[in-house]
Amino acid sequence: MTVGVWVALAEQNIDIGGLATLSQAGSSRQGTRMRSEIPRAQRKSNHAEPDNPDQRKRARGPVARPQHLEARSAVLHEQFENMEHAPQHTRGTTRVDDGDMTRVAIIGAHGKVGQQLMHVLYDRSDEFVGIARGADHAEDIYRLGGEGVLLDIETASVDELAAAIDGCDAVVFTAGAGGGSGTERKRTVDYGGSVKSAAAAERSGIRRFIQVSAWGVDSPVEEDADETWAAYVQAKHDADTELRERDLDWTILRPGALTTADGSGRVTLGDSVPRGSISREDVARLIVALLEAPASAGHTWEVISGETAVDDAVAQLLRTPDA
């Protein structure tokens, strides 16, 4: 079943067995939602992930679609052809409450860090809203028990993005134009997307904001550096600078070179750390640790792989006199 079929179901209020409901914010595809209605306590059993942590790492990836829904696919595709727009989805606004993190908006949810973050939140039975540009990406978010929102942060307005994240307790910005993109998209995604996301958080009354930046972006690039790399560094630097001026409880995390290795759960974290690398899984676990540490707000920290457990690394920095 394609994600378009799921969209059609909610827009026509068609029952799909209580597993998911969708609603569309506005009259266009922008803002279309895919939300799991499976209680958090039941998600692990429904998705049948292994109990052994090592097995879970190997099993990670898009979670299989519930098999009993496949039989409905032909009928639902026919219903999809006559789709009508649904009323705007609304939700009350909540606030982060001294580390009691319950619902997280992930901007760039289908990026490699975003995917790892969804797995970590899923394992903890936390709720999350994933902002994704592609319909197939939103379906992957749903499969992990989250709420997927179809929204292109390059073209969406601040109001549209604010509506998509309204009701969340915190925002994590981990979007990026990615490899192979040109200088223009570094500006519209890595910088523009961050600025727009921070403005949307302010508009929705969400104070907690974690930004995934990059190691060393305050240092000037070499004169002979590739122009795309220079544009990337400048975009990250400018996004961080602007975020610090916002009336938000922000934390900026600057990881070293990102790898696909399994996380060790151990890092080197500080105001400045040597050049190095870190797994995306460890970055995701550190994001959650920061969300659980309200005192980390107002800090910009670099991080690479190291020897200190993630939670201990955060606690040690917060115990230092200048933290």
- Residues that are catalytic: 232
Binning the chain into helix, strand and coil, the percentages to the nearest 5 are 40, 20, 40
Main-chain phi, psi angles of 174, to 5 degrees: -135, 25
Looking only at the bridges linking them, the beta strands covering 32-36 and 20-21 are: antiparallel
* Strand 32-36, strand 147-150: pairing: antiparallel
> Which of 207, 206, 187, 183 minimizes the C-alpha distance to 195?
187
SS3 95: coil
DSSP-derived pairing of the beta strands 308-309 and 266-270: antiparallel
Is 166 exposed, middle or buried (CB count within 10 Å of its CB: 0-12, 13-18, 19+)? buried
From residue 259, alpha-carbon distances to 211, 252, 280, 283 in Å are 18, 19, 6, 10
The DSSP annotation for 271-293 comes to: SS--S-EEEHHHHHHHHHHHHT-
Residues 7, 8, 9, 11, CA torsion sign: positive
Beta strand 147-150 with 127-132: parallel, antiparallel or unpaired? parallel
Report CA torsion sign: 275, 278, 282, 287: positive
